[in-house]
Chains A and B, each alone.
Chain A
Amino acid sequence: MIYQYSNRLGTKPAGLDPDAKAYANAVVATGATVSAAQKNAISDFVKTGKADGWYSSIKRLYLPIWGAASPNAIDIIGLTSGLFIGTLTHGAGFVQGNGTTGFFDIGSTPNALGMSTSGGSAFALVYEQDSRTDTRYFLGQTDGSNRRVFLRQDGSTAISTTLYNAGISVTNSSSARTGVFIGVVNTTSNRYLKRRASSGIAYTTTRTETDANIQSSARNVFAMALNNNGTVASWCDAKMGLYGLGLGFSDSDGNKFTLALKTMWETCTGLTIP
């Protein structure tokens, strides 16, 4: 009903968004089932992003909720396939590495996706935290010169993110390791880390010191592990509901984007983030 009212008010076009429909068709082509409610949830996410203006900032977005590797590997944005490697569980509503060999290669680099110090982001929905309390990567890559893009847990007491910087990471000293996390760089002096919990935005930590304008390497970004200059490391066994990469987001758009991610995932899965 709410959806019908929003259409009448003219805030969003009626029917499924064509990009969402194309993604749903790609998922169905792998044998997975996409319900009407799930299609509507994905379509609402895309329409909201387009109406708000942040949708074009998403460069890769994976929704590994379908219970099988092939549909879980499809990027909502470009419909290309990433690659699952090693031991992973494809659950109902999430994917989970075993923490020792399983991870996901998005098949592209931050540079190839257009990320830079003028705009970059890494985001993930963590449904259940890693079973360990050391450094584990939700998303990560680094090269031989230690140029990095990552979003990770630092033990059991912090979450941190680094995007194209020489020394300035954004860290929040929080023991909460579940929720929707997003790390963003908008300029060399505008970075933030945000966590959305079930109750809303739990924190936004900012860093405004000017850092060097360092570009990242040609290493692919891994999810559920770190691509350590070509060697996989620091595997994560958290249950991941979604993950992706993008350009920059204003603080306001970061709030809207993480809410839309949460809404889409929760509606599609029937689960709720802690």
Chain B
Amino acid sequence: MIGFAVTAEQAQAANDAVALAQTSRGLPVFWLPGAYHIYTGYHAGLTFVPCDEIILSTPLRGNPPLTPVDFPEFAEIVESLGGLDARVTIQPQDIIDPDAP
């Protein structure tokens, strides 16, 4: 999985900014990239924010549909996470809580 491995605070701030980009336009919050604690692997302890090509090209709304990269806030949000070049690849099982029932 491709995305950012950042602090929980950075991940929350990024998701909050994406939510604000929607509410500031009078819209409900209908899409977020998400934030997942990383339990295992090299980035254990950090928080994963998905940012793969499908995320970047997600059709959101409009005709033709706008994608996240079409919004002016996109560059600033990505920069707050270190920029696209800072993205990492983790394994799906890394975000699964090993102690979950």
Footprint of B on A, CB under 8 Å? 30-33, 67-71, 73, 80-90, 98-101, 146, 228, 231-233
Contact with A along B70-101 (1 / 0, CB 8 A): 00000000000000000000001001110011
Pick from B30, B34, B50, B63: contact of A69, CB below 8 A: B30
Whether B32 and A30, one on each chain, are in contact in the complex, defined by CB atoms closer than 8 angstroms, is no
B58 to chain A, nearest CB (A): 6
**Most chain A beta-carbon contacts within 10 A, residue among B30, B33, B62, B101:** B30
A31 cross-chain contacts in B, Cβ below 8 A? 61-63, 65
Whether B58 and A101, one on each chain, are in contact in the complex, defined by CB atoms closer than 8 angstroms, is no
Contact with A along B18-40 (1 / 0, CB 8 A): 00000000011111111010000
Q: 10 additional contacts, CB 8 Å, given A82-B30, A85-B33? A: A31-B63, A70-B61, A71-B61, A81-B30, A83-B30, A84-B31, A85-B34, A86-B50, A87-B55, A228-B100
Kindly state the separation between the CA atoms of A43 and B37 in the bound complex, as whole angstroms.
Answer: 43
Pick from B27, B30, B31, B63: contact of A32, CB below 8 A: B63
Kindly state the separation between the CA atoms of A70 and B62 in the bound complex, as whole angstroms.
Answer: 9
Whether B63 and A101, one on each chain, are in contact in the complex, defined by CB atoms closer than 8 angstroms, is no
A262 to chain B, nearest CB (A): 26
B32 cross-chain contacts in A, Cβ below 8 A? 83-86
B96 cross-chain contacts in A, Cβ below 8 A? 233
| B1 at the binding interface (Cβ < 8 Å) | yes
Whether B54 and A69, one on each chain, are in contact in the complex, defined by CB atoms closer than 8 angstroms, is no
Known pairs A32-B63, A90-B59, A100-B1; A70 contacts B30 (CB<8 A): yes
Whether A67 and B59, one on each chain, are in contact in the complex, defined by CB atoms closer than 8 angstroms, is yes
- How many B residues touch A, CB cutoff 8 Å? 28
| B60 at the binding interface (Cβ < 8 Å) | yes
B19 to chain A, nearest CB (A): 9
| Closest partner residue, chain B, to A233 (CB atom) | B100
B71 to chain A, nearest CB (A): 13
Whether B62 and A69, one on each chain, are in contact in the complex, defined by CB atoms closer than 8 angstroms, is no
B40 to chain A, nearest CB (A): 14
B58 cross-chain contacts in A, Cβ below 8 A? 69, 88, 90
A24 to chain B, nearest CB (A): 15
23 A-B pairs whose Cβ atoms sit less than 8 Å apart in the complex: A30-B61, A31-B61, A32-B61, A32-B63, A68-B59, A69-B58, A69-B60, A69-B61, A73-B31, A83-B30, A86-B33, A86-B55, A87-B1, A89-B54, A90-B58, A98-B54, A99-B92, A100-B1, A101-B95, A228-B101, A231-B97, A231-B100, A233-B97
Kindly state the separation between the CA atoms of A33 and B50 in the bound complex, as whole angstroms.
Answer: 29
Kindly state the separation between the CA atoms of A99 and B93 in the bound complex, as whole angstroms.
Answer: 11
A146 cross-chain contacts in B, Cβ below 8 A? 101
| Closest partner residue, chain A, to B28 (CB atom) | A81
| Closest partner residue, chain B, to A70 (CB atom) | B61
